[in-house]
Chains A and B, each alone.
Chain A
Amino acid sequence: MLSLSFSTFRDRWRLFAGAIVAVALGVALVQSSLLVMVSTDRAPVPPGASGRVREQIREGYAGAATLLGMTVMLSVFLTVFIVGSTFAFTVAQRRRDLALLRLVGGGRGQLVLLLLAEALLLGLAGTALGAAAGVPATWAQARLLIALGFLPDGFAPVLWDSGAAVASACVGIAVSLAGVLAASRRAAKVRPLDALRDTGASARVMTPMRWLSGVSGLALTVLMVALAQSAELLGAMMLALGISITGGVALSALSPLVVPLAGRALGVALRRSTLGEIAQANLRDGVRRSASTAAPLIVLVALLVGLAGTLGSLALMSGEEQRRLVRGDLVVESPGAAAERIAAVPGVAAASPEVTVPISVTARHHEEGRSWRRTHYSGIVAVDPPAYRRAHKVRLLAGSFDRLRGRTIALGPGMAAEGVRVGSTVTARVGGHAVRLKVVAAFVPTLENYSETFLVPRDVVPAPVRAGGEAQTVVRVAPGTEPAQVRERVRAAGLGRARTVAQWADARTAEQQRGNLGILAVLMGMAGGYAVVAVINAVVIAGTERRAEFAAARVAGMSRPQVVRAALVESWAVTAIGLVLGCAVAGGALSGMLAASLRGAGRPLVAVPWTLLAAVTVGAFAVTGATSVWTTFSATRPRPVTLLTTRE
């Protein structure tokens, strides 16, 4: 059986090439992610680093671990998907061969074994390639995580670990075997009689499983879109993520139904030329082929545009929120020492200096019956409470902002969900002295990721310590004074950089956006890589499958360039359909964000990632076009007569 698998494998390597690349990619990613995790474990925080640096490095490691975990899960899932669809394809294509095996005495179990053995070979080949690619992948991944700020500069990953190599090899083989399971079940259902039928009723494309997952996924998606119209912002965001995933999966499962339907709509444009007409007929006829090209595109566009749009919209809304929370004309960023002098600048009516100070706060956290102490270093801000109150819209969950004076502390927006209780006492270490502070107020959380964690009255922090911090000062200008004038004076006095509240909020938004997009870029870039493999795979398999069909078209009078063009038109039409359907899902996802922003802010705050969408569109057309032309060219290389007369 293994020798039969081996000769099939050797004979049909082109069919398996995409799946091998997918497995190799998966193995390389799993291996590199494990190695980076092992390295963060082995690279301890440098001795002598300050508490704040330690906290930053630890948080970076935690962020990196989360990202790596998601990477591993996503790549395993996508690899199973690609291996599965490759084998589904080969089983459909090799129906006659499989039936023939049954005819000469092959049992059902033997057919399953045959496919498992092929998957094993594929897994081994992919694993070998992946293990080799894992070394550069680890290096590249570490560089990327450093660039994203998750890992400290100069972080050097371990490039080889036998444990990680064994684990990723196991993943590679397990993933290949898992991918083949569904296909091998289908292969076992091939009847020996199918070998005798020339056309052979090919397997139904819409299997019951496909119907079930497609229809239930679609129902769930529609329900979520409906719910999102009246959901709160965070609810709308979670729903948008859900819609992107279930909608993409549902439409790709239903693609054998949806793609020909969309093809009919596109047909009006295509039918004007003969080649277009042929392409459109093929689109309707080759359902499995069109669907398997469109499916990965639908999922990719839905996820990419849906997620990027959701996160972008969230950033827009958090910028809007910041703008509304600040009551002032200008925001000045300066060293802590300079902040106190801003109030004295002519034309300034009121100034609220807020200094991020290098102190630590140790607090007791309570959550679900557990309680622990933790020391915080970042986001601790010293404020002048009365000035702060005038310069901000203070929204509290609990306590009273008026009591923020003397030895007290308030929980900032970033600490709202951390389980520190109002009324408890925390310990602050200020310049080497321990100070006990009573928690008197807790702010409502904001949409921002890295907000203030604690606010302390500035008297708690001695002036020299405050002078070493970084300040932002909200300024209100005196009536009759132009904000631009004050801005110029602040600059001239060398006090710091002054911006309007709108500019400042936009900058904060942009920063948020950058962080989000960085993470998104890593995950989606990877998903995009897999989608490219899946699409190329589908186009290549479909092209080689159609040698006889192309030959018949040429005998009927089409020239080779015409055959190539017709195939190109067809695959571009499928690409367009995949992109449009993916955008439809993303649109559903963003509709909830639109509704939430209209309700919350009174104006639409939706970030449609146009650049990304344009890049994906151009990339998709380029990839499917190039692959289609290449496969059609190589499938039409032999003279048509030889293809029409030989069977095997």
Chain B
Amino acid sequence: MTQLSGPPPARSAAFPIAAELRDVSRVHGSGSAMVRALDGVSLAFPAGSWTAVMGPSGSGKSTLLHCAAGLERVTGGQVFLAGQEITGAPDAVLTRLRRKKIGFVFQSFNLMGSLTAEQNVALPLKLAGVRVPRGDVRAVLEAVGLGDRLRHRPRELSGGQQQRVAIARAMVTRPAVLFADEPTGALDSASARTVLSLLRRMVDEEGQAIAMVTHDPAAAARADTVVFLSDGRLVDRLDRPTAAQVAERLARLEAAPC
């Protein structure tokens, strides 16, 4: 397969730290119903590195991802994205960032059902008002192995194929950071392997920064670093992990009394 998206990385040089949380806390509700989803979390997502975020249900994984991506406002602390502080940024600024600097991939694919694969991939560029050369869109889809599915609608594709379209859509803008929320959660193991290899290649060959939330130790083992969250706090960290190590740490966390 060819390179993922056009010319080689300038990203790692431009933003050595693609996204960063500094002492971030996020509180839901108030009074007795108050929940600390995040409690003083500091974490950086460097370029050319894949970080997996793990933890038991309700540990604040998703909230962490949403806050880092500027989708949720933080209650305390600072958030940086592509070298810019976005802690209290207005909607227009966040919209611009989403167009240019951030890519998203979800468990449930989230493609527009009425658009073809090709149209789905071109959508972010069109929204940014960029003229989209067809060749570019095709190249990105070919890079994820879907060169022959350009005109298909999401419902005509398998789950793995849909997820690859979603990745192509996320990559077409060449974002500083790719946020992935359980990207393999809805896939069979073969499709999951394909998708994970695709992500791995983007990190190694193009210096892409990836922040991924997952439940799956096998998926986390493909990352460079795994961080563990519990009750909204960072409690552990593994570099170059194996699936067995990850599973063991996770089991310990889940067994611990809360």
Segment from A3-11, A75-83, A130-138, A613-621 that makes contact with B: A3-11
Interface residue A648 (Cβ < 8 Å from any Cβ of B)? yes
Q: Are A8 and B114 in contact (CB under 8 A)?
A: yes
Mask: chain A, 147-181; 1 = CB below 8 Å from B; 0 = not: 00000000000000000000000000000000000
Q: Which residues of A contact B106 (CB under 8 A)?
A: 195-196
Q: Which residues of B contact A101 (CB under 8 A)?
A: 112, 123, 127
Q: Which residues of A contact B108 (CB under 8 A)?
A: 198, 647
Q: Are A107 and B124 in contact (CB under 8 A)?
A: no
Give the contacting residue for A106; candidates B95, B113, B114, B155; CB below 8 A.
B95
Mask: chain A, 632-648; 1 = CB below 8 Å from B; 0 = not: 00000000000000111
Q: Are B98 and A104 in contact (CB under 8 A)?
A: yes
Residue of A at shortest CB range from B111? A648
A-B pairs with CB below 8 Å: how many?
76
Q: Are A106 and B127 in contact (CB under 8 A)?
A: yes
Q: Which residues of A contact B100 (CB under 8 A)?
A: 105
Interface residue B110 (Cβ < 8 Å from any Cβ of A)? yes
Q: Say what secondary structure dominates the interface of chain B.
A: helix
Which residues of B are in contact with A by a Cβ distance under 8 Å? Answer: 62, 66, 71-72, 91-92, 95-96, 98-100, 104, 106, 108-115, 119, 123-124, 126-128, 154-155, 162, 169, 173, 181
- Nearest-neighbour CB distance to chain A for B132, whole angstroms, equals 11
Mask: chain A, 97-135; 1 = CB below 8 Å from B; 0 = not: 100111111111010000000000000000000000000
Task: Offer 13 A-B interface pairs, CB within 8 angstroms, sorted by A.
Answer: A97-B113, A100-B110, A101-B112, A101-B127, A103-B71, A104-B98, A104-B124, A104-B127, A106-B127, A191-B71, A195-B106, A648-B109, A648-B113
Interface residue A12 (Cβ < 8 Å from any Cβ of B)? yes
Q: Are B114 and A103 in contact (CB under 8 A)?
A: no
A107 touching B95 in the complex, CB below 8 Å, given contacts A193-B66, A196-B66, A198-B108: yes
Q: In the bound complex, how far is the Cα of B110 from the Cα of A193, in angstroms?
A: 12
Extra contacts, 15 of them, besides A4-B126, A96-B110 (Cβ < 8 A), are A4-B123, A8-B114, A11-B114, A100-B110, A100-B112, A104-B98, A104-B127, A106-B127, A107-B92, A108-B95, A195-B106, A196-B66, A196-B71, A648-B111, A648-B155
Q: Which residues of A contact B155 (CB under 8 A)?
A: 646, 648
Q: In the bound complex, how far is the Cα of B114 from the Cα of A7, in angstroms?
A: 6
Q: In the bound complex, how far is the Cα of B126 from the Cα of A96, in angstroms?
A: 19
- Nearest-neighbour CB distance to chain A for B17, whole angstroms, equals 22
- Nearest-neighbour CB distance to chain A for B162, whole angstroms, equals 8
Q: Say what secondary structure dominates the interface of chain A.
A: helix
Which residues of A are in contact with B by a Cβ distance under 8 Å? Answer: 1, 3-4, 7-8, 10-12, 96-97, 100-108, 110, 191-193, 195-196, 198, 646-648
- Nearest-neighbour CB distance to chain B for A199, whole angstroms, equals 12
Query: Which of the listed residues B91, B114, B127, B173 has the most CB atoms from chain A within 10 Å of its own CB?
Result: B114
A97 touching B66 in the complex, CB below 8 Å, given contacts A104-B123, A192-B98, A193-B71: no
Q: Which residues of A contact B71 (CB under 8 A)?
A: 103, 191-193, 196
A104 touching B95 in the complex, CB below 8 Å, given contacts A12-B114, A195-B110: no
Residue of A at shortest CB range from B122? A3
Q: Are A103 and B104 in contact (CB under 8 A)?
A: yes
A193 touching B95 in the complex, CB below 8 Å, given contacts A104-B127, A105-B124, A648-B154: no
Q: In the bound complex, how far is the Cα of B154 from the Cα of A97, in angstroms?
A: 13
Residue of A at shortest CB range from B173? A105
Q: In the bound complex, how far is the Cα of B116 from the Cα of A4, in angstroms?
A: 11
- Nearest-neighbour CB distance to chain A for B102, whole angstroms, equals 8
Q: In the bound complex, how far is the Cα of B128 from the Cα of A110, in angstroms?
A: 10
A103 touching B110 in the complex, CB below 8 Å, given contacts A7-B115, A7-B119, A196-B181: yes
Residue of B at shortest CB range from A6? B114
- Nearest-neighbour CB distance to chain B for A108, whole angstroms, equals 7
Residue of B at shortest CB range from A100? B110
A105 touching B99 in the complex, CB below 8 Å, given contacts A192-B71, A193-B66, A196-B71: yes
Q: In the bound complex, how far is the Cα of B108 from the Cα of A195, in angstroms?
A: 10
Q: In the bound complex, how far is the Cα of B90 from the Cα of A108, in angstroms?
A: 12
Q: Which residues of A contact B96 (CB under 8 A)?
A: 105
Q: Which residues of B contact A103 (CB under 8 A)?
A: 71, 98, 104, 110
Q: Which residues of A contact B154 (CB under 8 A)?
A: 648
Q: Which residues of A contact B109 (CB under 8 A)?
A: 647-648
Residue of B at shortest CB range from A8? B114
A193 touching B72 in the complex, CB below 8 Å, given contacts A104-B127, A105-B127, A105-B128: yes
Residue of A at shortest CB range from B154? A648
Residue of B at shortest CB range from A5? B114
Give the contacting residue for B98; candidates A4, A7, A105; CB below 8 A.
A105
Residue of A at shortest CB range from B125? A105
Q: In the bound complex, how far is the Cα of B155 from the Cα of A648, in angstroms?
A: 6
Q: Which residues of B contact A97 (CB under 8 A)?
A: 112-113
Q: Which residues of A contact B115 (CB under 8 A)?
A: 4, 7
- Nearest-neighbour CB distance to chain A for B176, whole angstroms, equals 14
A102 touching B66 in the complex, CB below 8 Å, given contacts A7-B115, A648-B113: no
- Nearest-neighbour CB distance to chain B for A66, whole angstroms, equals 46
